[in-house]
Structure 1
């Protein structure tokens, strides 16, 4: 079995409504999903049920993305997709060593979940052009979504843990 899995986080209608380059991120993620399916790489879908209860209008995946029969869905209530979910068990069942991550929001669920995966010993590839977020304000400073995405990519590209590899690559260059 392939030791790699693709995790798609929170690409839901309610999450992407105000996100930067949402259409581009969805298009690049859809292409990754197609490649993963062609290469028989497992795909795990993660959806936020705290802010968007199941079956609410904002809960569903955005147009252009569809979870196939048999692809696991992790329902989460926290920014970390590992927190109080079955994600650990799913990954163990797939005998995964490498995780590829795409989705939303860069500064919350993406950063938290990739860091949590690193702490658990996984090699992680963040798809640098397939995650997104919204503009934000912090302590009186306005941050653009582009700045947050760039910072997340920079932060993750410098991540170091013993005997693990981390990368930030464009969707077109992801190796499953």
Structure 2
């Protein structure tokens, strides 16, 4: 069984703005720690980038690029998407299958949209998910602060048991990567 790290939407237009997402620098540092540990274990690292036809997330625009400070390495993979669900109309499922990935670690932006949608879809497709509880973030909203949104998702996503595979929310320091199949 192998684990892959999916880093969702940590992009300049979403992070390198004012105001920044909650704990932006700390979240990027935790993601960098996760990706370094994944690479050391031989686990695949995938950067997922949201795009739109125009505007700040237009493909290859400055805002579409990965956020400042996010570390990349040779061998990392990249996937473009156009909806909050990283599986919808993308090659993500094939990419995971080709690498023998059996479970996922998810982190990134935005907690209540792309992280949530991808977590739910992954579980529905049969993947156990480790949600990096302190490495996903969002901006404050009118109805709830970013801290409240993250706490809510860390508490409620693991309660979704009807998909079958477990969803667990744990701090980055407790996440374990299993090397890919050889």
Partner of 1:155 in structure 2? 156
Are 1:126 and 1:167, in contact at CA under 8 Å, matched by a contact in 2?
yes
Partner of 2:43 in structure 1? 41
Normalised by the length of structure 2, the TM-score is 0.89
Query: What is the Cα deviation at residue 54 of structure 1?
Result: 2.3
* Correspondent of 2:128 among 123, 128, 137: 123
Partner of 2:110 in structure 1? 105
> After the TM superposition, which residues 52-91 of structure 1 pair with which residues of structure 2 at under 5 Å, given as runs?
52-91=57-96
CA distance in 1, matches of 2:168, 2:67: 26
Partner of 1:165 in structure 2? 166
CA distance in 2, matches of 1:162, 1:85: 21
Deviations 1:28-80 (A, max 9, x none): 00000111111111111100112512221211111222332332211011011
Are 1:8 and 1:46, in contact at CA under 8 Å, matched by a contact in 2?
yes
> After TM superposition, which residue ranges in structure 1, 4 or more long, deviate above 4 angstroms?
none
More divergent stretch after superposition (9-18 vs 98-107) = 9-18
Query: What is the Cα deviation at residue 88 of structure 1?
Result: 0.6
Normalised by the length of structure 1, the TM-score is 0.92
Are 2:124 and 2:163, in contact at CA under 8 Å, matched by a contact in 1?
no
- Which ranges in structure 2 are unaligned for 5 or more consecutive residues? 178-182
- Which ranges in structure 1 are unaligned for 5 or more consecutive residues? none
CA distance in 1, matches of 2:42, 2:82: 29
Query: What is the Cα deviation at residue 151 of structure 1?
Result: 0.8
Partner of 1:13 in structure 2? 12
Query: What is the Cα deviation at residue 162 of structure 1?
Result: 5.9
Q: Give the SS at the match of 2:108.
A: strand
Q: Give the SS at the match of 2:107.
A: strand
Deviations 1:103-160 (A, max 9, x none): 00000000000000000000000000000001112xxxx3111111111111112121
Partner of 1:96 in structure 2? 101
